[in-house]
Amino acid sequence: MDIALEQVEYRYQPNTPFERLALHNISLEIPSGRYIAVIGHTGSGKSTLLQHLNALLQPTKGKITIGDRVIDAGKKEKNLKAIRQKVGIVFQFPEHQLFEETVEKDICFGPMNFGVPEDVAKKRARELIRLVGLPEDILAKSPFDLSGGQMRRVAIAGVLAMEPDVLVLDEPTAGLDPRGRREMMDLFYELHRAKHLTTILVTHSMEDAAAYADELVILHHGELKRKGPPREIFSDPEELEKWGLSVPDIVRFQSTLEKRLGKKLGKTCLTAEELAEELQSLLKRGGR
Amino acid sequence: MMEKMIFGRYIPGDSVIHRMDPRSKLIFVFVFICIVFLANNAVTYAILTAFTMLVMLLSKVPVRFFINGLMPILWLVVFTFFLQLFFNREGQLVFHYAFIRIYSEGIRQGVFISLRFLLLIFLTSLLTLTTTPISLTDGIEMLLSPLLKIKFPVHELALMMSISLRFIPTLMDETEKIMKAQMARGVDFSGGSLKDRVKAIIPLLIPLFVSSFKRAEELATAMEARGYQGGEGRTKYRLLVWRPADTLSLCSLAAVTVLLVLFRDGGIL
């Protein structure tokens, strides 16, 4: 499902002393099946942008096309439920959204709201609970008896159970331990590949952005500053610094190394493996 | 959702009213509420209106903002106006059509009572608009301190008030977040039958209560860890200062009261 934003502007609390311009002149196309990472400093409008993708917020100017629905500024939209089924959002700290008596009921809650029959929803719950790395017997427990990390997984399973075409992730791994982070991020990438999901990730981790995304989008003070593949974006560390961002550790290591060696490597490497290969080929060519 | 509400909101500013001591403002508002009921004729209402206008001007809060904030309560004002208009049977008959009879006294009372409403709303919301919640609770604590003599837990009450006030915006943010998260999971908060709407509130309320419990626990731990042991023997960081302007404001209020007593029907004059 393609999503396109055209000159979108969003103001919080317009016409009050608390008015705040959160997004300004955002034009962005998200073709079906892409993995896009949105990065930017705190308060740059990332989360506001996300909420436009399934019409939780509607633009104060401009228009948004989500699949075959067009959302124009200033129009009262009805029947947004169809959009919300297609575009699943995992919010920051999604464990706060759990409320049912059992984990199973909570996972089934989303799909059943969209008219999925109970037995199908339960089947999905059983599949998903294993997919997110939890034992099946947890389904019968109360979500409030679980640990923070487990609650997070249950909440994510609850969003995945709606089987969205577009998965929007707002810092899904904030507050998880390093292993949990990696597992979750790998799971999302796996789903993205296997189900051809369009994935939009908001993150502060440049490593994650570099490792998974096809394209990066940089927001700064509510404006879209740059859009491009990670290799291109991370090749210019000075520019990123202007927007309060940094490059992944590997990239920084490479540029320090390049300065010491006094020569440039073939390309900007995004992972340790890539860098190792580049260095190896440099050695083979006899460069010192 | 609550964007238009101005009750309980503070607008940062730097006016005479903003700088006043919260105690004097509290006393001011309390006395004002009482003396509004002294007014019973055109002259006294004119005095009160002029006085309220003056105070509003001094606060430098944009008038447009008062009007915005008034909207949610407007129906109540309109309702009382029409209640007086249609059901007051005193004075002369002014208008008669089918079963509708409007009397002169009805119009008079309708106008006066709605005006009284407006004045009360404007002045009380001015209190919260120009005073930070924290200094408001400080003021209340000081004003209630005589009650300590009858073993009234003034400090605990003030603490509870300041904590609740502090967490209102946090809780509102959280409500909005959970609401959005549940909307993304297909909950419809604004449509459907009454039964559906009540049911839709459950996925919002339970997470809110759970997180409030957690927050209370964390806050209590953090307070204990920082050595909080109750109200006794504590010193104050924020000190309230009574300035000449505060005395002056109460004097002006006294003057208005005297004027009202003089000019009201059945008053001294």
Which positions in chain A touch B178 (Cβ < 8 Å)?
96-97
Tokens of A128: 């998903």
A-interface mutation test, from B65, B185, B201, B206, most A Cβ less than 10 A away: B185
* Each residue's pLDDT tens digit, B41-79: 889 999 999 999 999 888 888 887 777 777 778 888 999
* Each residue's pLDDT tens digit, A5-36: 999 999 988 877 778 899 999 999 999 999 99
Average the pLDDT over each of A189-198, A205-214, B181-190, B232-241 and give the range with the smallest value: B232-241
Distance from CA of B203 to the nearest CA of A (A): 6
Choose the closest CB to B184 out of A84, A96, A98.
A84
- Contact flag B181-A91 (C-beta cutoff 8 Å): yes
Please state the φ and ψ torsions of residue A202, each to the nearest 5 degrees.
Answer: -100, 130
pLDDT: which is higher, A210 or B88? A210
Residue B6 has pLDDT above 60, yes or no: no
* Each residue's pLDDT tens digit, A66-77: 988 888 887 777
- Contact flag B180-A85 (C-beta cutoff 8 Å): no
- Please spell the DSSP secondary structure of A72-118, one letter per residue: ETTPPP---HHHHHHEEEE-SSGGGG--SSSHHHHHHHHHHHTT--H
Predicted ipTM of the assembly: 0.88
Distance from CA of A96 to the nearest CA of B (A): 6
Choose the closest CB to A97 out of B3, B62, B207.
B207
User: Chain B within 8 Å of A16 (Cβ-Cβ)?
Assistant: yes
Tell me the CA distances in angstroms from B84 to A267, B79, B87, one per residue in order: 82, 9, 5
- Contact flag A109-B174 (C-beta cutoff 8 Å): no
Which positions in chain A touch B182 (Cβ < 8 Å)?
97
Please say whether the dihedral angle defined by the alpha carbons of residues B155, B161, B167 and B171, taken in this order, is positive or negative.
positive
Residue A168 has pLDDT above 90, yes or no: yes
Residue A163 has pLDDT above 90, yes or no: yes
pLDDT of residue B1: 41
Residue A49: CB atoms within 10 A of its CB come to: 26
Which positions in chain A touch B202 (Cβ < 8 Å)?
99
By CB neighbour count within 10 A (0-12 exposed, 13-18 middle, 19+ buried), where does B26 fall?
A: middle
Task: Give the H or E element holding residue A228.
Answer: strand A223-228
- Contact flag B62-A17 (C-beta cutoff 8 Å): yes
Which positions in chain A touch B4 (Cβ < 8 Å)?
16
User: Chain B within 8 Å of A172 (Cβ-Cβ)?
Assistant: no
Q: Is the pTM of this model over 0.80?
A: no
Distance from CA of B202 to the nearest CA of A (A): 8
The residue of chain B with its CA nearest to that of A89 is B184
Choose the closest CB to A99 out of B184, B188, B203.
B203
By CB neighbour count within 10 A (0-12 exposed, 13-18 middle, 19+ buried), where does A39 fall?
A: buried
Residue B156: CB atoms within 10 A of its CB come to: 11
pLDDT of residue B268: 63
- Contact flag A81-B62 (C-beta cutoff 8 Å): no
Which positions in chain B touch A20 (Cβ < 8 Å)?
none
Q: With contact defined as beta carbons under 8 Å apart, do A254 and A282 qualify? A: no
Chain B: which residues have CB within 8 Å of chain A? 3-4, 11, 62, 65, 68, 174, 177-178, 180-188, 202-203, 206-207, 210-211
